[in-house]
Structure 1
Amino acid sequence: MLKKKLLILTAFLGALIGYVSAQEKPNMYFTDTSSGRPIAKDPKVVYFNGKYLMYYSIPGKTDEGWKIGIAQSKNLQQWDKIGELNKVAAYEKNGLCAPGAIVRGDTLHLFYQTYGNGPKDAICHAYSTDGIHFTRDHTNPIFHPSGSWNNGRAIDAEVAFYKDRYYLYFATRDPSGEIQMQGVAEAPRESDFSRESWKQVSDQPILKPELPWEGKCIEAASIIEKNGTLYMFYAGSYNNAPQQIGLAKSLDGIHWERTAKTPFLPNGKVGEWNHSESGHPDIFKDKNGQYYLFYQGNNNNGESWYLANKRLFWKETLPTY
């Protein structure tokens, strides 16, 4: 009888442990081990040529610098790597990362940043008709900010079409290089996205850290329009501080207000896969009208990084999950 009870108890504990483990990891749990460590960051998802494509940042091996990975999926949960965007131009010699992307007609436009150049990091543009092989814009880098309110750096590009114009959102830093904040530039509908197309809209940040949980950093804006309103999912605080995801909204693409004083998506609890952070968001609307928030996380202060997503639902005028 005692042996039978022990067997039942063991089976119960095994099932419980399995349940807890299953709860700790989301349905989508993707990383890239090409650098020798499991690291994938900065997701950007599009639907192009009949398939889902995800662009993301990966570190190179020793002294190689960062590069951009490309994965595809049939269901937004399981992903297979199909390519990389590696450095080829002189301005990319120290690395490239943090992809943003839009589809216009039969062409996918990729906006990414140079890396490893401090205040001289800038936004670049490339385009592709298959989503894998890209042609660089001959005017690269296409954008970096001007003005005394920033240090000239531009990273984490996001391009959105709104009210007949394209808006380029970027993260920059204050003149001291300490505070990371959001800026914006614009281009006309007929833009080819070259350097001459973009005009900086504001001579001050459009969103900067003010709340305690945002620390000294707001970065990685991801924008979507719904019913005439723009929604910005953004990363607050630097990586592993912990970084968490906030939400703001706008009616003109330039002036933004937060929807809450607390994170929209916080980091996980102790022991969970995203305890160190839930960061660098990407909001994606599927072809069937469903919304997904992609983001990065880890629980070891950056020794690894995984990508995940959550399906979002709309309650009145705000998203929830």
Structure 2
Amino acid sequence: MPHHPVTHLPGRFLALLAAVALAAAGLLASPAAASGVAARGPVQGPVLDREFADPDVVKVGRTYHAYATHDDSRNVQHATSADLTHWTVVGADALPVLGAWASPDRNRVWAPEVYANGKGFTLHYTAQDRASGRQCIGAALAASPDGPFRPVGDGPLICPAAEGGAIDAASYTENGRRYVLWKNDGNCCEADTWIHLQPVTRDGSRTTGPAVRLFKQDLPWEDKLVEAPTLVKRNGRYVLFYSANFYRSDDYRTGYAVASSLTGPYAKAAAPLMTTDSFGGAVRGPGGQDVVTGPDGRDRIVFHGWRNGFAYRALYVADLGFANGRPVVRGT
């Protein structure tokens, strides 16, 4: 995700106004949202009303661990929850040191992805490559989801500089084989943006084969880019969620594509899944999504949305279902 300014949290009055707006749109189940956390309902949020963009969530035991793009003091943010609704922000930086290949500019550290690798935990992150000046993807390892994650490898994991670099890593595992999905950052330089699928080692520290292109921007509502892939398999079909359009606007939205094979072909839905309008304006620019199993065993989609006049992106959670292999988000 592109860099954006970080501001202070809104006051109680702004939180109350936001809760009223959400309730008016029918997205909240009770006035409890005035505190900044919605009660149970189709859409909960903002469940973390602060800068927390590009969320990635992994469950370890009974605890959900969420990771997000940098803030003003951390390369990678980290928060924990027992229910996906009430969150505690961890003070420590989950990735205190970047790989030697990366610029130390914290503002260029985006879109973390964390997963259990069998012997510990892997974090993929986006940072600026010193050699090319492009955004590229690196890998880091830790013994626990609390970190600290430490970079591995002499260079970035994925860095197609000639195609604009690479951002927005997402993990997928099937039949014991690990893959990383990513986007070439072509919109940095007036080029196409493709969602790729590439095999990696089980700990995600090395690629083990070439990347396969899955799809690029080609629908009017996507404008110049597609990014932020998330892949799941439901009812025998692959469902690939993605974000598109300009990130700092109401035009940013979440779409999806489906396939019967891992490598495609993927058929995009003609209309996006989540938009500012589909939430009645209560969530602005929904994107940067991830899919996680809730405490009740059902799917949730977690994502960010803009708050306080596009000042920061907060964390939201919505119920996610599937009808004939296609996703349905309650509240939209």
TM-score range, shorter chain: 0.7 to 0.9
Number of corresponding residues: 288
2:127 aligns to what?
114
What's the counterpart of residue 14 of structure 2? Answer: none
Q: Is 1:27 the equivalent of 2:31?
A: no
Where does residue 145 of structure 2 map in the other structure?
131
Quote the residue 1:216 is aligned against.
224
Match of 2:208 in 1: 198
TM-aligned CA distance change 1:227 to 1:105, over 3 Å: farther
Write the letter of the residue equivalent to 1:194.
Answer: S
Within the alignment, does 1:60 sit opposite 2:69 as a pair?
no
Aligned letter for 1:279? G
SS of corresponding position for 1:213: helix
Are 2:122 and 2:203, in contact at CA under 8 Å, matched by a contact in 1?
A: no
Aligned pairs for 1:180-259 (under 5 A) are: 180-187=193-200, 191-195=202-206, 197-202=207-212, 205-241=213-249, 242-259=251-268
Q: Distance in 2 between matches of 1:164 and 1:171?
A: 23
2: CA distance between counterparts of 1:304 and 1:286? Answer: 25
**Distance of 1:227 and 1:249 partners within structure 2:** 11
The alpha carbon displacement at 1:219 in A equals: 0.2
Q: Which has the higher contact order (CA 8 A, sep 6+)?
A: 2
3-state SS in 2 of match to 1:198: coil
Q: Larger radius of gyration, structure 1 or 2? A: 1
Paired residues of 1:293 and 1:311 also in contact (CA < 8 A): yes
Distance 1:254 1:270 in 2: 32
Write the deviation string for residues 167-221 of structure 1: whole angstroms up to 9, x where unpaired.
2111113497224331221135xx44223x332233xx42111111101010000
Q: Output the TM-score relative to the length of structure 2.
A: 0.76
Cα RMSD between the aligned structures? 2.9
Partner residue, 1:142: 157
Q: How does 1:31-180 map to 2 (within 5 A)?
A: 31=48, 38-60=50-72, 67-82=75-90, 83-89=92-98, 90=100, 91-95=102-106, 96-105=109-118, 107-115=120-128, 120-133=134-147, 134-145=149-160, 150-151=163-164, 153-174=165-186, 177-178=189-190, 179-180=192-193
Q: Shift of the alpha carbon at 1:303? A: 1.4
Distance 1:130 1:257, change over 3 A: same
Deviation at 1:128, TM superposition (A): 2.1
Whether the 8 Å contact between 1:233 and 1:283 is mirrored in structure 2 is no
Worse-superposed segment, 45-54 or 118-127 = 118-127
Contact 1:160-1:166 within 8 A present in 2 as well: yes
Aligned residues of 2:97 and 2:150 also touching (Cα < 8 A): no
Give 1:143's aligned amino acid.
Answer: I
Describe the shift of the 1:120–1:109 C-alpha distance in structure 2 as closer, same or farther (beyond 3 A): same
| Cα distance in structure 2, aligned partners of 1:172 and 1:315 | 31
Aligned-partner residue type, residue 76 of structure 1: L
Q: Which residue number corresponds to residue 272 of structure 2?
A: 263
Distance 1:267 1:223 in 2: 23
SS in 1 for 2:221: helix
Per the alignment, do residues 304 and 18 of structure 1 end up closer, same or farther by CA in structure 2, a change over 3 Å counting? closer
Describe the shift of the 1:274–1:126 C-alpha distance in structure 2 as closer, same or farther (beyond 3 A): same
Structure 2 residue runs of 5 or longer lacking an equivalent are 1-19, 34-42
User: Does the residue aligned with 1:131 lie in a helix, a strand or coil?
Assistant: coil
Amino acid at match of 1:53: H
Match of 1:283 among 270, 286, 291: 291
3-state SS, counterpart of residue 24 of structure 2:
helix
Residues 124 and 169, structure 2, Cα contact 8 Å, conserved in 1: yes
- The TM-score with structure 1 as length reference comes to 0.79
